């Protein structure tokens, strides 16, 4: 059985900056001992609410980027959507607030050994960790085409620096307020054919991930998925993030905070997820 990420550490970090990006919030945290070991696809767990809070459970967030800052040392960046009391508290904090951080946690995106043509497919703020992945893929000589979807324009996450990293960005929105009206899976097959895609990475809502996986399987293209299961602890104790996965010819419930969040799409028992 897989254990917690060996690079994981627990530390107290300082909130260096927070700004609104569309409907989301971009946070930069000082995270010595965590940022250095972070890889694309990893996540962190944050204690929220302060010392006197009744919010005992941590909140988990995918790492958008990890880097070295000239003034503050090792930092991590997050993209946060307001989705409950914990995230509401977090985005209301001021610069300088101290936060208890555990990370890096979970699995990371496996990188190809040789240059290949890659599609990254993101839904909403699930696109955030894919742009750090794109940096690493480009460093290996890969061509990277991004397909980013959301319900409406304000929920599209496609940062300017990210657009410079990838070779192309195709945006879709359900309501047609930005890019092409429709879903990412409406445009993915044509991009796969035109760019001769060898490998797909995706992150976003489960329904989107399954739809992308259906296309990948039909074309025999490897597909690495970063799932967005709700997690209460992030370290494999609470069992709230289990997902049905194939183990041989049997379906087993697996902790996505440990075995994931990055998983080979072929390992997920999608029919069981739907149930």
Compute the mean pLDDT over every residue in the chain, rounded to the nearest whole number. 93
- Helix (H), strand (E) at residue 93: none
What pLDDT score does 53 carry? Answer: 61
262 and 172, same structural domain?
Answer: no
What pLDDT score does 52 carry? Answer: 54
Task: Please indicate, yes or no, if residue 2 is contained in any of the structural domains.
Answer: no
Indicate the SS3 state at residue 192. helix
Task: Please indicate, yes or no, if residue 61 is contained in any of the structural domains.
Answer: yes
Q: Per-residue pLDDT averaged across 194-208, rounded? A: 97
210 and 152, same structural domain?
Answer: yes
Task: Please indicate, yes or no, if residue 38 is contained in any of the structural domains.
Answer: yes
95 and 36, same structural domain?
Answer: yes
The tens digit of pLDDT for each residue in 126-142 reads: 999 999 999 999 999 99
pLDDT band per the 50, 70, 90 thresholds, residue 1: low
202 and 138, same structural domain?
Answer: yes
Domain of 254 in residue numbering reads as 231-275
* CB contact at 8 A, 114 and 268: no
123 and 97, same structural domain?
Answer: no
The tens digit of pLDDT for each residue in 141-173 reads: 999 999 999 999 999 998 888 888 899 999 999
Task: Please indicate, yes or no, if residue 1 is contained in any of the structural domains.
Answer: no
Final residue before a domain boundary, out of 84, 105, 126: 105
Indicate the SS3 state at residue 261. coil
Q: Per-residue pLDDT averaged across 229-250, rounded? A: 88
The tens digit of pLDDT for each residue in 55-83 reads: 667 889 999 999 999 999 999 999 999 98
The tens digit of pLDDT for each residue in 29-50 reads: 999 999 999 999 999 999 988 7
* CB contact at 8 A, 256 and 25: no
Residue 86 has pLDDT above 70, yes or no: yes
Per-residue CA distances from 233 to 46, 78, 238 (Å): 10, 18, 6
What pLDDT score does 50 carry? Answer: 77
Q: Around 54, how many Cα atoms within 13 Å sit in the side-chain half-sphere?
A: 1
Final residue before a domain boundary, out of 105, 125, 146: 105
76 and 30, same structural domain?
Answer: yes
The tens digit of pLDDT for each residue in 92-120 reads: 999 999 999 999 999 999 999 999 999 99
**CATH code at position 137:** 3.40.50.80
Residue 275 has pLDDT above 90, yes or no: no
Give the integer Cα–Cα distance in Å for 14 and 219: 46
Total domains in the chain come to: 3
Length of the chain in terms of residues written: 275
The sign of the torsion formed by the CA atoms of 49, 51, 55, 60 equals positive
What pLDDT score does 51 carry? Answer: 66
What pLDDT score does 155 carry? Answer: 94
The tens digit of pLDDT for each residue in 3-20 reads: 899 999 999 999 999 999
What pLDDT score does 55 carry? Answer: 64
Final residue before a domain boundary, out of 72, 105, 138: 105
Give the integer Cα–Cα distance in Å for 265 and 249: 16
Residue 54 has pLDDT above 70, yes or no: no
Residue 174 has pLDDT above 60, yes or no: yes
């Amino acid at each position: 059985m897989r254990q917690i990420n060996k690079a994981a550490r627990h530390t107290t970090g300082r909130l260096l900056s927070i700004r609104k990006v569309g409907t989301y919030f971009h946070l930069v945290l000082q995270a010595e001992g965590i940022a250095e070991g972070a890889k694309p696809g990893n996540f962190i767990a944050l204690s929220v609410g302060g010392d006197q809070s009744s919010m005992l459970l941590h909140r988990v967030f995918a790492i958008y980027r990890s880097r070295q800052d000239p003034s503050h040392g090792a930092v991590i960046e997050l993209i946060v959507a307001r989705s409950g009391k914990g995230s509401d508290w977090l985005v209301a904090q001021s610069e300088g607030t101290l936060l208890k951080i555990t990370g890096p946690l979970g699995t990371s995106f496996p990188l190809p050994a040789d240059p290949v043509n890659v599609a990254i497919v993101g839904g909403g703020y699930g696109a955030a960790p894919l742009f750090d992945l794109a940096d690493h893929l480009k460093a290996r000589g890969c061509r990277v085409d991004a397909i980013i979807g959301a319900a409406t324009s304000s929920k599209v996450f496609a940062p300017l620096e990210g657009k410079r990293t990838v070779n192309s960005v195709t945006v879709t929105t359900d309501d047609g307020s930005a890019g092409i009206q429709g879903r990412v899976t409406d445009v993915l097959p044509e991009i796969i054919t035109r760019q001769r895609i060898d490998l797909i990475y995706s992150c976003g809502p489960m329904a989107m991930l399954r739809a992308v996986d259906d296309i990948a399987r039909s074309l025999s293209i490897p597909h690495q998925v970063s799932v967005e299961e709700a997690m209460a602890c992030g370290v494999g104790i609470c069992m709230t993030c289990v997902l049905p996965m194939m183990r041989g010819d049997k379906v087993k419930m697996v902790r996505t905070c440990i075995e994931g969040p990055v998983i080979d799409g072929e390992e997920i028992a999608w029919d069981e997820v739907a149930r």
